[in-house]
Chain A
Amino acid sequence: MNNLYREEILEHYRSPQNFGFIENFSIKSKQTNPFCGDEIEIFINWKSTNKYKKKQISVGEISFNGYGCAISIASASILTEYSKGKAINELTKFSQKDMLRLLGVEVSEARKKCALLALGVLRDCLYAT
């Protein structure tokens, strides 16, 4: 019945991937969701072969930190895992719809804020780079 809380999501929540800090990050960004107090901060270390060409800059290291509900933590875990090694221009194309698809569960309107929080933070990192 509870598709939203299927085991895979709960596993990401209990032991999130890429949780923690990166010491020498190239960029970090944070967002909170005032509605429920969730907070996600993402750290990225870029790897570039040519720093003037965005398609040649990709995610070297990525991590996240923060707190939140199962959906927002699982999304951050899944998104950071997905982003590893991806080039900036590839990630810029990654849409909200893509994020929900990646999450693989049906999310109600009210919970979309939770599911999309990490993506918002990732985008801030991309735009600032």
Chain B
Amino acid sequence: MKKYRDDFPIFSKISSLIYLDSASTSQKPQCVIDSVSNFYTTYNSNIHRGLYKIAEMATLEVEKARIKISTFINASSPDEIIFTHGTTEGINIIMNGLKKFISEGSAILLTEMEHNSNLVPWQKIAKEKKAKLYYWAIDKNGQLCDEIKDEYNNIVFTSLLDIPLLSIVALCHVSNVLGTIVDIKKIASLLTEKYGDKNKPFIIVDAAQSAPHFSINVQDMGCDFLVFSGHKMMSPTGIGILFGKKKILKEIDPLIYGSQMIREVSKNLTTFTESPQKFESGTLPIEAIIGLSSAIDYLNRIGIKNVRMHEIELTEYAMIKMNKIEGLTIYGPLKSNDRSGAISFSLENIHPHDIAQILGDMNICIRAGHHCAQILHSVLGIQASARVSFYIYNDRDDVDLFISGIKKVKSIFKK
């Protein structure tokens, strides 16, 4: 995908840049940068308020973005699309909204792979409500096991259907460390089959790592909520999407009060607008929404299936080369078809920070640490790991340079 690389001005500005940290945040194509600068130079104004032309134009662009995103993930209506500041905020809005359905003794199920963003809010509410918090275990290939172990209380459920009073199932679609793809559809249909659509637990999907690379269809998946961040899919930072089923959005309360989400205020009573505005308090990051809209256009022009195909091809190539390096261990699924393009690894007993620093000095950008997944790292029995991740602007040359960088790290630390 050499041609796509040319769309990203950072690579011509820094010609030696080998960027392998897109799972953290992605680079931005010229069209996205232009859309933001075009907004500021030709129609900058606030939305939903001004009765003049440029304000109408800005409002229209934001609502067009909502429709575009709704189509992108196949929501049943644009009213199910809420603009947030990112995945983390999205999950907090959901947690806050659903807390009235969580009672003492009910269960919240997460996986061992969750990013802190999809873990800490649930941990907090479980404590507050005296609900049970279970972690779905992973096997040695980083796939979810059949059974659900609660090691703390020494309980094993042979299936998620055996968990009593299960009220929330919150899981990642793709793990940011292992690259594991979770079969959300299968889980949702199991739950729907047993409990019926009305009474099944709420299913919340953290799609931060999947939305940039996978074709997403929320109706087919059968989830109640799905969240992701724009900045990982070539849009500016500060914008995220929260999808929620209309029926549930109607029932739940917003997290933040004031400004845009208000219909009418009197001295002792305020009425609120309907979803999605009910959840969008304050002035939105308009330029980021316009940037995200342009990023979605760009992804649609390439075709999300081609993005994924490129990722599989590059992941396969990288894994073959990495496996040939003595002392290098890759975590997560073995086959490139079963995983995303985020590959976490360790190299002998060299600390990941040392690996990332030496590569960093060569302008090869990789990530080192626990990637906000401390529970997962303790399950893997390691303190930290190093991670490379790919996007459409990466190619085999990047992988080759990374591999020679790894060889250099080994030579520095040998003996």
Contacts and interface: CB of A to CB of B under 8 A. Distances in A.
Interface in B392-412: 412
Interface stretch (A1-9, A51-59, A82-90): A1-9
Interface string A39-82: 00000000000000000000000000001111100000000000
B361 to A, nearest CB: 6
Interface in B73-98: none
Contact of B413 (A10, A38, A114): A10
Interface residues of B, number: 17
Interface in A1-24: 1-2, 4-5, 10, 14
A37 B370 contact: yes
Contacts of B361: 1-2, 4
B383 A5 contact: no
Contacts of B368: 36
Contacts of B357: 4-5, 108, 111
B369 interface: yes
Contacts of A1: 361
B358 A69 contact: no
A127 interface: no
Nearest to B369: A36
A24 B352 CA distance: 34
Could you say which of A14, A69, A108 has the most chain B C-beta atoms within 10 Å of its C-beta?
A69
Contacts of A2: 358, 361, 412
Interface in B340-357: 351-354, 357
B384 interface: yes
Interface residue range, chain A = 10 to 19
B415 interface: yes
Contact of A37 (B354, B383, B412, B415): B383
Given A2-B361, A36-B368, A37-B384, A70 B415 contact: no
How would you classify the secondary structure of chain B's contact residues: helix, strand, loop or mixed?
Answer: helix
Given A5-B358, A36-B368, A67-B383, A10 B351 contact: no
Nearest to A37: B383
B412 A10 contact: yes
A36 B353 contact: yes
Contact of B354 (A14, A35, A70): A70
Given A2-B358, A14-B415, A37-B377, A70 B369 contact: no
Given A5-B412, A14-B415, A67-B383, A36 B352 contact: yes
B415 A36 contact: no
A108 B358 CA distance: 12
Contacts of B351: 36, 38, 68-70
Nearest to A11: B415
Contacts of A37: 370, 377, 383-384
Contacts of A14: 415
A4 B351 CA distance: 14
A4 B360 CA distance: 12
Could you say which of B357, B361, B370 has the most chain A C-beta atoms within 10 Å of its C-beta?
B357
Contacts of B383: 36-38, 67
A111 B384 CA distance: 15
A2 B368 CA distance: 18
Contacts of B354: 5, 69-71
A69 B412 CA distance: 14
A71 B350 CA distance: 12
Given A5-B358, A36-B384, A37-B383, A69 B413 contact: no
A95 to B, nearest CB: 24
Contacts of A10: 412-413
A38 B383 CA distance: 8
A69 B415 contact: no
Contacts of A111: 353, 357
A4 B413 CA distance: 13
Nearest to B413: A10
A38 to B, nearest CB: 7
29 contacts: A2-B358, A2-B361, A2-B412, A5-B357, A10-B412, A14-B415, A35-B369, A36-B351, A36-B353, A36-B368, A36-B369, A36-B370, A36-B384, A37-B370, A37-B383, A37-B384, A38-B383, A67-B383, A69-B352, A69-B353, A69-B354, A70-B351, A70-B354, A71-B353, A71-B354, A108-B357, A111-B353, A111-B357, A114-B353
Give the 9 A-B CB pairs with smallest separation, nearest first.
A37-B383, A69-B351, A69-B353, A69-B354, A70-B354, A37-B384, A36-B384, A36-B353, A5-B412
Interface of B: 351-354, 357-358, 361, 368-370, 374, 377, 383-384, 412-413, 415
Given A36-B370, A69-B354, 18 more contacts: A2-B412, A5-B354, A10-B413, A14-B415, A34-B374, A36-B352, A36-B368, A36-B369, A36-B384, A37-B370, A37-B383, A38-B383, A68-B351, A70-B351, A71-B353, A71-B354, A111-B353, A114-B353
